[in-house]
Amino acid sequence: MTTNPQRTHADLVVIGLLLVGVGMAFGQWWAPQAGPADTALVFVGGGERARLPLHVDATLEVAGTIGISRLQVADGGIRFADSPCRHKLCVRAGFLRHGHDAAACVPNRVSVALTGGNRSYDSINF
C-alpha cells in the first residue's frame, strides 16, 4: 500500500531554512575573498578627501554635511569610530580590512573604500 505524503507548512519552512543556511555557508566559507587591503580612500560628497595607509595607526576627523565623522586606522584596518548620523550604521560596520571593502555614513556623505588585496577573479562577464 502506498501513501501520498502531503507537504505541510512546517516542511516548507524547514526547506526554506536549509536553503538559506546553505547560501550563508557558501558566502562564509567558499566564496572568494580579497586579501588584506593596503590603502583606505576617504570620500566626502563624492570627492576624494584623503588616502590613508593601513599599516600606520591614525585618527582622522572628516567634516561632512551634518557634522564630523571620526575615522580610526588600527591593526591594518579602518573604521568609523564616531559619526553624527542618527542610526550609526557606519559605526556598527566595524573594521574594514579586505580589499574592496567599503562603508559609508550616508546622511553625512562620508564614505571609505579599501584598495589593494589580491582579487580571486580577473573579470566578470554577463
Q: Which domains does the chain have, with CATH numbers?
A: 39-115 (2.60.320.10)
Model pLDDT for residues 63-97, shown as the tens digit of each residue: 999 999 999 999 999 999 999 999 999 999 999 99
Residue that is written with C-alpha cell 567599503 in the block: 102
The backbone torsions φ and ψ at residue 55, rounded to the nearest 5 degrees and listed phi first, read: -90, -5
One-letter amino acid identity for 67?
A: G
Distance of CA 97 to the CA centre of its chain: 9
Closest listed residue to residue 57, CA positions, set 36, 37, 77:
77
**pTM for the full predicted model:** 0.67
